[in-house]
Structure 1
Amino acid sequence: MSAPALRPTLPSRRLGIIGSIVGVLALMAAVLPHWVVPMVFPPPPADQVIVDTGHRIKDRLMARVKGVEYQAPKVEKSAGRSWSETASATAISLGLLAILLSVLSLIFREERLLAGVAAVLGTGAIAIEISFVMIGALILIAILYVVGNIIGLL
């Protein structure tokens, strides 16, 4: 009777594959809404935003002159903004889940390549979201600087 042939066991790949899929979904949630949402829910025209801002400034100045406390009108979120915020939260959550699955994959001694792919995709999705926030902050700082120069504050 011959001894049974020993087959090399392959490391499990379950958590790495799930983490990679979650990482791809996170990356899609981080990138696609920045192109899709403005097409589906276009932002208001710039001239309308400028006129609305001018009216709010005028109302605020009139309230100050009259000695009355200014109460800003309630502005409800647009559908586009709501979708963008939801997509950002989803992207960050899925990115963190992909990183967690990557770590668990390494702890359970699964294939390292898939664990690395899941970690990179999750980290990339989070980095994209952070970069969009930073770009928005830099644009806001630039606008405030220009307005400050025009008014003569800076």
Structure 2
Amino acid sequence: MTDTIVRSRRLGAIGCVVGLIALVAAVLPHWVLPVIDPPPPIDKVIVDVGHRVKDRLVARIKGVAYQAPVRETSWTDRLHQHLPVAAVSLGLLAIILGVFGQLFREERHVTAMATTLGGCAIAVQLSFVLMGVLVVLALLYFIGDFLALF
């Protein structure tokens, strides 16, 4: 008679839940929050920047230190600041839980899913950073080509 060994799934299952939360935290600020709370129109941003530049110049001419007005941050701005850090942290935690689940000989598919979800959350964050770097490099190349530097 063969006895089947029932393997634990505790660390792997916790890692899967944490990895899924990390993936949601990685995707939320880039695709969901702009739909819920759209950014201000570009003309309003340009006018605000113009007023701030004018106020700085007036303060410099008068010889006083410029005091920037206190701007109240919205809840979406706070989420934009904190969710990327939370996504990477939770992604690392999911990977750690998946590795420990593998070390404690839990079921492989559950631990693999935990590490994959954590890795995907970190990859989403890194992909947005790399896209930003590529855009900056493309702009620098365009400006350099325009000025005949390259």
Determine if the TM-score, normalized by the shorter chain, exceeds 0.5: yes
2:52 to 46, 52, 56: 56
- Corresponding position of 1:12: 8
- Corresponding position of 1:125: 121
Q: Which amino acid aligns with 1:130?
A: L
Matched, 1:99 2:95: yes
The 3 A distance-change label for structure 1 pair 71 and 138 is: farther
- Corresponding position of 1:73: 69
RMSD: 2.7
SS in 2 for 1:32: helix
Query: How far apart in 1 are the matches of 2:57 and 2:72?
Result: 23
The 3 A distance-change label for structure 1 pair 76 and 142 is: farther
Consecutive unaligned residues of structure 2, counting only runs of 5 or more, are none
- Corresponding position of 1:21: 17
Query: How far apart in 1 are the matches of 2:7 and 2:75?
Result: 46
Query: How far apart in 1 are the matches of 2:138 and 2:44?
Result: 21
- Corresponding position of 1:41: 37
SS in 1 for 2:71: coil
Query: How far apart in 1 are the matches of 2:86 and 2:70?
Result: 27
2:79 to 61, 65, 83: 83
TM-score of the aligned structures, taking structure 1 as reference length: 0.77
Task: Note the C-alpha offset of 1:60.
Answer: 1.2
The 3 A distance-change label for structure 1 pair 46 and 62 is: same
Aligned positions, number: 145
Q: Which amino acid aligns with 2:124?
A: I
Task: Note the C-alpha offset of 1:104.
Answer: 1.1
TM-score of the aligned structures, taking structure 2 as reference length: 0.79
SS in 1 for 2:49: helix
Runs of at least 4 residues off by over 4 Å: 136-143
* Partners of 1:23 and 1:121 within 8 A in 2: yes
The 3 A distance-change label for structure 1 pair 137 and 81 is: farther
Instruction: Give a deviation string over 1:58-115, Cα, whole Å, max 9, x none.
Output: 1112222222222211122122211223332332232122112111101211122322
Instruction: Give a deviation string over 1:110-137, Cα, whole Å, max 9, x none.
Output: 1223222211210110221233244445
Q: Which has the larger radius of gyration?
A: 1
